[in-house]
Amino acid sequence: MTKSKTIVITGSEGKIGKALKAYFKKKKFRIIGLDKKKGFNSIYCDITNENDVKKKLGNILKVNNPDILINAASIIPKIKKFKFSDYSSKKWTNTLKVDLFGSFFVSKICCKYFEKKNAGLIINFSSIYGLSGPDQSIYGKNEKNFGFKNLEYSVAKSGIIGFTKSLSAFYKHSNIKVLCFILGGVESKSLDKKFVRKYLSKIVEDKMISTNQICKYVEFCISNQESVSGSCIKLDGGAEAIF
């Protein structure tokens, strides 16, 4: 009998993390979730705190050798009117910390195990906002010097693309693979209908991607690891294809 694979998922209580947890649980994967929110199969861990990561994840990995890491934790701040020139440095830093430091801390510890067995896969999540700046007019009424969607999210998501490329290149001579999915808007009942209409008018597809569809792409890459490393795969509904 083949051993079931162990998968570490950060942000395991978020929209995508929860879907991944449920999807791979059904496929008999062993799940280790990490989140700042409590939940089934999740450990409370602040991934921006390296000691917390070392202590909590470190202890579990000693007995559950990881095969796959999915970095899905992120801060997606609420849509709120703001002026860039007044924007809070604290908010800016907090968002960057999760993507740019949290992913680093968790990847570092998993890679210790990947290096030992010369095998492992890291899947990161970026966004179309890591490629292009958000069009503020889809989030609210256009007003000079005011916007709604935070800018540091784009900085964090560009960083994830850089992290994916540099780490995959770093592991060129080993069997450790790193890739990322660049997502467009993800379907959710909680999204404002007016926003969804405006968003869809800007992309090729006529609906947002579902979390189930994302899980299927993740599963495909887990089962077909031969040529995935270094790839930043766009699942953006054609957002970049239309002007």
Ligand X SMILES: NC(=O)c1ccc[n+]([C@@H]2O[C@H](COP(=O)([O-])OP(=O)(O)OC[C@H]3O[C@@H](n4cnc5c(N)ncnc54)[C@H](O)[C@@H]3O)[C@@H](O)[C@H]2O)c1
Residue nearest to ligand X according to CB distances in the complex: 14
Could you say whether residue 239 binds ligand X (CB under 6 A)?
no
**Residues numbered 89-128 forming contacts with ligand X, rule: CB under 6 A:** 98, 102, 125, 127
Buried b or exposed e, range 143-153, using 16+ CB within 10 angstroms: eeeebbbbbbb
Considering only 7, 8, 9, 16, the residue that binds ligand X (CB under 6 A) is: 16
Per-position x/- string for 44-73, each x denoting binding to ligand X as judged by CB under 6 A, each - no binding: -xxxx-----------------------xx
Among residues 110, 138, 142, 137, which one has the least CA distance to residue 124? Answer: 110
Could you say whether residue 36 binds ligand X (CB under 6 A)?
yes
**How near is the Cβ of 187 to ligand X at its closest, in Å?**
8
Could you say whether residue 178 binds ligand X (CB under 6 A)?
no
Listed in sequence order, the residues at least 6 apart from 135 whose beta carbon sits closer than 8 Å to its beta carbon are 202
Total residues found in the chain within this entry: 243
Could you say whether residue 11 binds ligand X (CB under 6 A)?
yes
Give the full edge-to-edge strand order of the sheet including 42-44. 42-44, 30-35, 6-10, 68-71, 120-127, 176-183, 232-235
**How near is the Cβ of 191 to ligand X at its closest, in Å?**
8
Calpha distance 124→119 (Å, rounded): 17
**How near is the Cβ of 175 to ligand X at its closest, in Å?**
25
Contacting range for ligand X; rule: CB under 6 A; set: 24-32, 42-50, 61-69, 164-172: 42-50
**How near is the Cβ of 167 to ligand X at its closest, in Å?**
16
Could you say whether residue 20 binds ligand X (CB under 6 A)?
no
Buried b or exposed e, range 70-107, using 16+ CB within 10 angstroms: bbbbbbeeeeeebeeeeeeeeebeebbbbbbbbbbbbb
**How near is the Cβ of 74 to ligand X at its closest, in Å?**
3
**Residues numbered 121-160 forming contacts with ligand X, rule: CB under 6 A:** 125, 127
**How near is the Cβ of 127 to ligand X at its closest, in Å?**
4
**Residues numbered 182-201 forming contacts with ligand X, rule: CB under 6 A:** 183, 185-186
Report the interface residues with ligand X, using CB under 6 A: 10-11, 13-17, 34-37, 45-48, 72-76, 98, 102, 125, 127, 183, 185-186
